[in-house]
Amino acid sequence: DATFVMADLPGLIEGAHEGAGLGLQFLRHIDRTRVLIHVIDTAAGDQHKLWSDYQQVRGELKKYSAALARRPHLIALNKMDAVGDASEVLGFRQRLVKLRRRTFPISAATGEGVKDLLWAAWRMLEKRKAEPSQPLPALKVYRGPSSAEPFTIERVHDGFRVSGNQLERLLAMTDMTKPEGLAHFQRMLDRWGLNDALARHGAHGGETVRISDVEFLYDPQR
């Protein structure tokens, strides 16, 4: 069976490349993808608004990274089952076709067109060669002052990976969807000296720190 991993990311607002909203966090996640799918809500049916929204997102990508803006992408025209004036969407689609953009009318609600979109994404991924990643040596082990077990910090191509049985057990037992759970997890990291260890490791503000399958942005001011 053909499988691939998708990251569902919210829409970018104007100024995202400068940190507006959670723009930089979203852009850093996007930067790790190999193919982009722009999902556009067509229900309003105003081709000028659709074009403006699309151009805004493309502009934010380009301002953040020219390489990211050049990445292959598909355009999903969603909510086609709810479009009032199909001619408006057709006009928008024709503008995209002139730019040689691949568009897919879909309905996430009914499933119409979704299969074709996913197969197109798969074929595009197959054509792209994975970027070679040079293995980087693991850095020295730091022992937190309150921890009987060490944690290991390793620099990887997109930030840092932190591993350790006690850290991973804490993460598994913490509800990260709740503010109090996230606050408790952060307090434990501070108590174990992880932030200081990352600083000694050369981490800079905004870099990605991965513990198990959860990612954080390093904040040296904490």
Q: How far apart are CA 66 and CA 50, in angstroms?
A: 23
**Confidence band of 136 (pLDDT split at 50, 70, 90):** very low
Q: Is the pLDDT of residue 172 over 90?
A: no
Q: Can you state the percent helix, strand and coil of the chain, rounding each to 5?
A: 40, 20, 40
To which CATH superfamily is domain 138-217 assigned?
GTP-binding protein OBG, C-terminal domain (3.30.300.350)
204 token code pair = 């800079």
Three-class DSSP category at 138: strand
Task: Return all residues near 100 (Cβ < 8 A) that are at least 6 apart.
Answer: none
Enumerate the CATH 3.30.300.350 domain ranges in the chain, comma separated: 138-217
Q: Where in the chain is the domain with CATH 3.40.50.300?
A: 16-127
Sheet strand arrangement including 73-78: 36-41, 73-78, 103-105
pLDDT digits (tens, 9 = 90+) for 67-124: 778 888 899 998 998 887 788 889 999 999 998 999 999 998 999 999 999 999 999 8
pTM for the complete prediction?
0.52
Q: Which fold has domain 16-127?
A: Rossmann fold (3.40.50)
Euclidean distance between CA atoms 51 and 103, whole angstroms? 13
**Res 20 pLDDT > 70:** no
SS3 state at 39: strand
